[in-house]
Amino acid sequence: MRRREILGAAVAGGAAAATLLAAREAEAQEKTARAMRGVPSPKITDVSVIECAPQGSRLTVVKVTTDQAGLFGYGCATFTQRADLIKPAVEKYLRPLLIGKPADRIEDTWQMCYDSSYWKNGPVENNAISGVDQALWDIKGKMAGMPVYQLLGGKAREAIDTYGHASGNEIAECIDSAKKYIAQGFRHVRIQVGTPGMDGYGARNKNGPRIPSLHTAPVFEREAAMKRALALFEAARKELGPDIELIHDAHERYTPTQAVQFAKLCEPYRLFFLEDALSPEDIQWFRNIRAQTTTPLAMGELFNSPHEIIPLIQDRLIDYMRMHISQMGGLTPVRKIAAMGELYNVRTAWHGPGDVSPIGHMAMTHLDLSITNFGIQEYSEMNDLTLEIFRGAPVMKGGYLYANDAPGWGIEIDEALAAKHPFNRDNVLNGGWGEVRLPDGQIIKQ
Ligand code: CO
């Protein structure tokens, strides 16, 4: 309408109006050019896999390369217990699907990859998809000239509060380990202790003669482990005081009713949360725990899909969701379930031990920076070699993790150096986990 009026005026002989029209058109064109600057749609030219083990754990990273010079991205696809299966899943199945496709359509690409196997939510497939997904977020950030947390809405906090892993064969050893974290400024610490003669979780288990058993495999006895953990909590509160936040991982080793008992017995020690009190197969039992205790509960690292945690969020049966982001299929699905959690006031505590690559740790850091329902972040120290290979990895200071402000994830990988540190092939199980049995020989969850 306006344009027609202006045109009318010009036709009517107003030379000034014609000049005005030209100026307006030039301005509109410039605005469009500015909006499009730097964002011609890049096409995917290659999808490759980087494997390395600078700290023992098998790390897998997917690299997506585009037709624009220097524009590529990295994504974490680490499934350390089945690491050799990820590379073929990426190279034989996702690569042919992705070559020639636009690199700037993250949601669309995720849905296409997810659906392309017809059967979905397997850990191998989801990790492979995560590698691609996170790489596309890295590319998107580089295109925008912004760190990914800016694309997610910007910072909701300055840095990421974390917890470290304190452990020991003996209670005193674990307390000493916790004190080291506290001295560094950590406000939260996970505590795990070995039980004499047994193979516990999270401690070295080299204490005393093995308990009697009918087999030679690693052995575990539930009651003894539970009593030992409670003794640790009591000592920790005495030695470390009331202010430090204590976390403990039950690692799904108790029976459901034992888990209810354990959560109740934890109450006097005011845990920050009790992790994996139950296995994914037993999540209906969370209702029983919730009805009987106020011990905060964290769950989710073994889930393969965001869908598995929906009932726990909906019924407010847990306090923290702690999925392994690459296991979920990457940042794209996880930010959706995180947003669902916000609406129910269920917070996050993503799985962040050494079997997440620094790219994966950075993806969690960016998500954590940008969401309101962040709870805590599990942290594990990266050695010098890891930091040399993954330049720009998140930085730990006083128990807080910091992202850098470089575009994308802000991490450059020294691929030549990574290649010099391949998976260790001496391990007979190739990085897989073995077995744990009760004294009578029955196998239990690890
Ligand atoms: Co755990």
Which residues neighbour 24 within 8 Å (Cβ) at sequence distance 6 or greater? Answer: 6
Q: Which two tokens stand for residue 119?
A: 């059967």
Longest dimension (CA), the chain: 105
Query: Is position 33 within any domain?
Result: no
Task: Label residue 418 by pLDDT band (50, 70, 90).
Answer: very high
Task: Label residue 26 by pLDDT band (50, 70, 90).
Answer: confident
Residues 145-196: pLDDT tens digits?
A: 999 999 999 999 999 999 999 999 999 999 999 999 999 999 999 999 999 9
CA distance 340 to 273: 20
Distance 251 CA to ligand 1 centre (A): 6
Which residues neighbour 16 within 8 Å (Cβ) at sequence distance 6 or greater? Answer: none
Residues 226-270: pLDDT tens digits?
A: 999 999 999 999 999 999 999 999 999 999 999 999 999 999 999
Determine the pLDDT at residue 24: 76
Distance 58 CA to ligand 1 centre (A): 18
Are 207 and 113 contained in the same domain? no
Are 278 and 396 contained in the same domain? yes
Are 121 and 233 contained in the same domain? no
Task: Label residue 5 by pLDDT band (50, 70, 90).
Answer: low
Are 277 and 396 contained in the same domain? yes
Which residues neighbour 268 within 8 Å (Cβ) at sequence distance 6 or greater? Answer: none
Distance 277 CA to ligand 1 centre (A): 10
Are 222 and 301 contained in the same domain? yes
**DSSP result, 4-44:** HHHHHHHHTT-HHHHHHHHHHHHHHHHHHHHHHTT-S--BE
Query: Is position 183 within any domain?
Result: yes
pLDDT score of 354 more than 50: yes
Task: Provide the CATH number for the domain around residue 228.
Answer: 3.20.20.120
User: 207 and 194 in contact (C-beta within 8 Å)?
Assistant: yes
Give the residue from 95, 115, 146 where a domain finishes.
Answer: 146
Residues 201-218: pLDDT tens digits?
A: 877 667 789 999 999 999
Give the residue from 130, 146, 162 where a domain finishes.
Answer: 146
| 251 flagged as catalytic | yes
User: 100 and 281 in contact (C-beta within 8 Å)?
Assistant: no
Are 236 and 351 contained in the same domain? yes
- 65-96 burial, b if ≥16 CB within 10 A, otherwise e? bbebeebbbbbbbbbbbebebbbebbeebbbe
| 324 flagged as catalytic | no
Distance 262 CA to ligand 1 centre (A): 16
Distance 275 CA to ligand 1 centre (A): 6
Task: Provide the CATH number for the domain around residue 99.
Answer: 3.30.390.10
Query: Is position 378 within any domain?
Result: yes
Query: Is position 321 within any domain?
Result: yes
Query: Quick one: angle between helices 331-344 and 106-115, nearest 10?
Result: 100
DSSP 8-state symbol, 294 = -
Q: Which residues share a beta bridge with 62?
A: 49, 75
Are 227 and 265 contained in the same domain? yes
Are 182 and 124 contained in the same domain? no
Are 130 and 237 contained in the same domain? no
Helix (H/G/I), strand (E/B), else coil: 209: coil
Per the structure, the complete domain to which residue 258 belongs is given by 151-410
Query: Is position 68 within any domain?
Result: yes
Are 76 and 225 contained in the same domain? no
User: Count of CB atoms within 10 A of residue 422's CB?
Assistant: 11
Query: Is position 255 within any domain?
Result: yes
Distance 102 CA to ligand 1 centre (A): 37
CA distance 100 to 105: 12
Least confident of 17-21, 211-215, 295-299, 357-361: 17-21
Catalytic residue from among 201, 254, 320, 379: 201
Give the residue from 121, 146, 171 where a domain finishes.
Answer: 146
Distance 431 CA to ligand 1 centre (A): 17
User: 219 and 210 in contact (C-beta within 8 Å)?
Assistant: yes
pLDDT score of 33 more than 50: yes
Query: Is position 426 within any domain?
Result: no
Query: Is position 433 within any domain?
Result: no
Are 314 and 270 contained in the same domain? yes
Are 252 and 400 contained in the same domain? yes
Determine the pLDDT at residue 1: 45
CA distance 390 to 415: 9
Q: What percent of the chain has pLDDT over 90?
A: 88
Distance 280 CA to ligand 1 centre (A): 12
How many independent structural domains does the chain possess?
2
Residues 58-106: pLDDT tens digits?
A: 999 999 999 999 999 999 999 999 999 999 999 999 999 999 999 999 9
Catalytic residue from among 188, 248, 251, 351: 251
Task: Label residue 307 by pLDDT band (50, 70, 90).
Answer: very high
Average confidence score pLDDT of the chain:
93
Residues 135-146: pLDDT tens digits?
A: 999 999 999 999
